Amino acid sequence: MTRRQVPRPRQLAPLLRFKRWEPSGKRRRLAAALTISDLRAIAKRRTPTAPFDYTDGAAEGELSLARARRAFTNIEFHPNILRDVSTVTTARTVLGGPSAFPFAIAPTGFTRMMHHEGEVAGARAAAEFGIPFSLSTMGTASIEEVAAVQPAGRRWFQLYLWTAREQSLELIRRARAANFDVLLVTVDVPVAGARLRDKRNGMSIPPALTPRTVLNAIPRPAWWLNFLTTPPLEFASLSNWEGTVADLIDRMFDPTVTFDDLRWIRQEWPGKLVIKGVQSLEDAKRLTDLGVDGIVLSNHGGRQLDRAPIPFHLLPIVNREVGRDVELLIDTGIMSGADIVAAIAMGARSTLVGRAYLYGLMAGGYDGVVRSLEILTDEITRTMRLLGVAHVDELSERHVTQLMDLAPRSGFDLGSAR
């Protein structure tokens, strides 16, 4: 027979533990977000459809993005046991400078459209966490603004080559003067990809007030209040543009760019030169021969050519061929710290995180970006400990297997075909 008794108050007291009430709804929402997907759900509720879809979407059927994310879920980790992981070192040198964790904030365009704090929030948070921040040519904060809010942080500038070369050269000079130490040249946008969500939403810069957008704004008054009461949304490197994003890309960007243009940029830029948007082993080899400092394996977040190669699948192939001669970075599909650890193990020196940080921005401005970086850095540290890895430099291919999904048919060699 089970013996029962009436509990005494002094026995109940230790069990009654109530959390301190947090009066800020934003802080409560962000604290409850345990993953980047949680932040995405908050962002979707609080952001109008057009800017959310611009961030969340990709080109055509969005297969490239879905496949890139699936590639990271289709991995198997191989942990070692009985290792001392009481202290874990996540810092390493990336492109000539320190990075407290093996990732940087990727360059993103039109960022103040997602949240009125925009690039300033991202730059501040990046400096706080000791990681680089990348500013896009199509950013809504200027080179000088980012330098002012992030004086002690590392700053990278992402360059598109425009048909008007003098405009590109002026941006290079401004970035040099503001002590940006890395130039990321994006080369996978000869023309705009077919981003169908944007077309269906009538996505324009600045956002247009139509009956549809007004109805969509009713449950999201905070976004519109901030949008209407802060300085007008405009490109910091481009003035007086009104029209769709695709029209802007087709008007401004140069489809005649070749490898010869990279030689010209090398002469104008004294810092580290990185080429972003590489999707084949052949091109990676040619860029290495040209003497670039880094290569970003990227399909532009799936926003350009749909069904493009999966960067994470390409990574070990390129690393084996040129990894000793050039620093490799990777983006597209990263949604967790475990994804970052897997990329480092397969040969990446660092990674770029775009959507994952923007979900935090849309969810809560600067505080939301901080929360996204907290989630990613906690996941990196925990994954390394569970793998039995005390230093990021210990990660190698022996820690990860890329499982067979979306692999080429038997007899097709991905490396030799490119």
Pairing of strands 204-205, 243-244: antiparallel
Contact 104, 350 (CB under 8 A): yes
Reply yes or no: is the peptide bond before residue 102 cis, omega within 30 of 0.
no
What is the distance between the alpha carbons of residues 48 and 51, in angstroms, rounded to a whole number? 6
What is the distance between the alpha carbons of residues 119 and 296, in angstroms, rounded to a whole number? 21
Set 115, 116, 300, 313: catalytic member:
300
* 300 in active site: yes
HSE-CB at 112 with a 13 A cutoff on CA atoms is: 21
Secondary structure element (H or E) that encloses residue 116, with its range? none
What is the distance between the alpha carbons of residues 68 and 53, in angstroms, rounded to a whole number? 18
Secondary structure element (H or E) that encloses residue 113, with its range? helix 111-114
What is the distance between the alpha carbons of residues 268 and 213, in angstroms, rounded to a whole number? 44
Provide long-range contacts, Cβ within 8 A and 24+ apart, for 380-386. 380/90, 380/101, 380/102, 380/103, 380/337, 380/338, 380/340, 380/341, 381/88, 381/90, 381/337, 382/337, 383/77, 383/337, 383/338, 383/341, 384/85, 384/88, 384/90, 384/341, 385/85, 385/88, 386/77, 386/79
Q: What tokens were used for 211?
A: 């009956």
Q: Which amino acid is at 315?
A: L
Would you name the residues annotated as active-site residues?
300
